[in-house]
Structure 1
């Protein structure tokens, strides 16, 4: 069998390949082409004048003429027909101009994108957060950054601290807003200012205790609760609050981290749902405000502080740094 640039000799054992010829002239031609060469050809096609094209690119006419001659010699084709009134692309010239425009557009796009990334005005940002600060800090910071730099492409996840820190360690996130689990070495991470999270107890507007003032935890034990699984910060905070008050915790508990499940139970029953104050604030705004209420507790519940966490060995992009500064300003 014969292929372009090589031969293949088959036998009973296998096939031997022998390189016969690599078309050096064409490869040299491609290596010698520079962006300003392509711009010259495109400008000649647009203006029909070599002198005008050369002047627009700040080069002398003899230099432009020499570049055009070299390109035509290397490509083996005449690119322009010279007329007294100007220069007209040949069929080969038309093809050259078409591909030159495509290459130049790609280079311009690359230059713009890299410049934007270097200036923090473009690029991807990957962040994660527990629920409360995602609403209070991350979303507002993200909107502000997007207004100033709409080409920044953020991706963010909301989840439990264990999953977020695991993702940070695996470099799936630039930074996270979370609590550092006890089995992680804090020396591997940079933990920036902490903020405590307040718990709100959500109920339906028809709940018997909706509107009551200064409620004690004892008044809530007879109702069903929907709450995150054991080990979650909110679950721990609720159990601690009942223990410190010397009251047995509620026995009628549904375990779920799904907000859809929480909302369904609140709508259909007298369930009590502990959520972060930021989530409660969002859910009690119109149009949901007519359906949900926050119970007024005599003693507020708080969760262990969360931090903005980044890995010490990971260098942030300018875009990630910009978003991080916006988040820190709101913590």
Structure 2
């Protein structure tokens, strides 16, 4: 009788099997899968049959329109994608190290940190590790957490969008952020001293897409006030697009003060006197449960926490408006080793 224990299963898994499961889960078609993997359809069928025999379960059901993953098959597809992503990232980091670099680091960040705190932390890390390859994905928390779950990121600076995410991810809070409603200085509401949500419902808005935490807060506030869901709306996770739609298209928006404060101080935008009930949960460091933090990620986190602690000690919201000069290099963690290039 074949041993189906964890160690025995892992020893029999093959890279080509994971690739086939990944592509078949995406295409739902064995012929297209075989073509994408540059093999014959009978060869693809044999690989799938061998994998199902190895695992002792059926992974896909053939229907008239497509091959659909079974309940267990969906878990195998998810594992295959994460394993392949980890393998590709390992290969890239290894190539970087062999060239004399410091490996790679993939980060995700919400807009509030991507505008100020994250660049300063990255600048310090690059000062210490000039040849480290750093990839940054800046978008909403829900998209970041999905990418983290797929193994595409080492860590995220953001929020857990749902309570269920706590079962898959570890969360360490860093700070809160203040939301400002704002418009162009030429907007008809620019001179108002008081506004409530009823004044804003018919205006054109530009907001983050649902179901991001920031968007959920705004939608909940309108619903709690007995107002209908916003209809005149543009959705985007791009800071650049949001600011330009407010500036040139007469729209209003709501973003963290860390993003808007400089524009307001420069006179291009005005902060609207609108209070929204409720507040965003603190943002923080999100990592996958059970996954060991890489040395590069650990070094970045040490720098990030040092910046946050320094600003909190000076009585400032990390990365917020009115921030004092950047932290001195001698106040931040020193490199792991003296190698510099």
Same-fold call, TM cutoff 0.5: yes
Describe the shift of the 1:189–1:253 C-alpha distance in structure 2 as closer, same or farther (beyond 3 A).
Answer: closer
CA contact (8 A) 1:223 1:270 kept: no
In the aligned structure 1, how far is the partner of 2:271 from the partner of 2:135? Answer: 31
1:133 aligned to which of 107, 113, 124: 113
2:281 aligned to which of 304, 308, 312: 304
In the alignment, is residue 204 of structure 1 matched against residue 184 of structure 2? yes
CA contact (8 A) 1:195 1:307 kept: yes
Match of 2:280, SS state, is strand
In the alignment, is residue 173 of structure 1 matched against residue 175 of structure 2? no
Q: Deviations over 1:214-265 (max 9, x none)?
A: 4322332342212223322222111222233444454422333344443343
Match of 2:255 in 1: 275
CA contact (8 A) 2:111 2:239 kept: no
Give the stretch that moved more between structures: 296-305 or 124-133: 296-305
Describe the shift of the 1:328–1:295 C-alpha distance in structure 2 as closer, same or farther (beyond 3 A).
Answer: same
In the aligned structure 2, how far is the partner of 1:304 from the partner of 1:149? Answer: 33
Match of 1:102 in 2: none
Match of 1:322 in 2: 299
Match of 2:222 in 1: 242
Match of 1:303, SS state, is coil
CA contact (8 A) 1:196 1:306 kept: yes
Deviation at 1:157, TM superposition (A): 0.6
Match of 1:154 in 2: 134
In the alignment, is residue 265 of structure 1 matched against residue 245 of structure 2? yes
Deviation at 1:131, TM superposition (A): 1.2
Describe the shift of the 1:211–1:143 C-alpha distance in structure 2 as closer, same or farther (beyond 3 A).
Answer: farther
CA contact (8 A) 2:107 2:135 kept: yes
Provide TM-score, normalisation by structure 1.
Answer: 0.55
Match of 1:314, SS state, is coil
Structure 2 residues not aligned, in runs of 5+:
1-93, 309-317, 319-341
Which one has the bigger strand percentage? 1
Deviation at 1:128, TM superposition (A): 0.5
Match of 1:197, SS state, is coil
Describe the shift of the 1:255–1:127 C-alpha distance in structure 2 as closer, same or farther (beyond 3 A).
Answer: closer
Describe the shift of the 1:156–1:272 C-alpha distance in structure 2 as closer, same or farther (beyond 3 A).
Answer: same
CA contact (8 A) 1:229 1:257 kept: yes
In the aligned structure 1, how far is the partner of 2:127 from the partner of 2:255? Answer: 30
Structure with higher Rg: it is: 1
Match of 1:195 in 2: 175
In the aligned structure 2, how far is the partner of 1:252 from the partner of 1:309? Answer: 34
Describe the shift of the 1:326–1:185 C-alpha distance in structure 2 as closer, same or farther (beyond 3 A).
Answer: same
Matches within 5 A, 1:86-97: none
CA contact (8 A) 2:217 2:278 kept: yes
Match of 1:257, SS state, is coil
In the aligned structure 2, how far is the partner of 1:311 from the partner of 1:129? Answer: 15
Question: CA RMSD for the aligned pairs?
Answer: 3.1
Describe the shift of the 1:326–1:301 C-alpha distance in structure 2 as closer, same or farther (beyond 3 A).
Answer: farther
Structure 1 residues not aligned, in runs of 5+:
1-109
CA contact (8 A) 1:227 1:254 kept: yes
Deviation at 1:126, TM superposition (A): 1.0
Match of 1:290, SS state, is coil
Match of 1:163 in 2: 143
Deviation at 1:142, TM superposition (A): 1.1
CA contact (8 A) 2:139 2:238 kept: no
In the aligned structure 2, how far is the partner of 1:233 from the partner of 1:188? Answer: 18
In the aligned structure 1, how far is the partner of 2:152 from the partner of 2:262? Answer: 28
Q: Deviations over 1:75-116 (max 9, x none)?
A: xxxxxxxxxxxxxxxxxxxxxxxxxxxxxxxxxxx9xx68x8
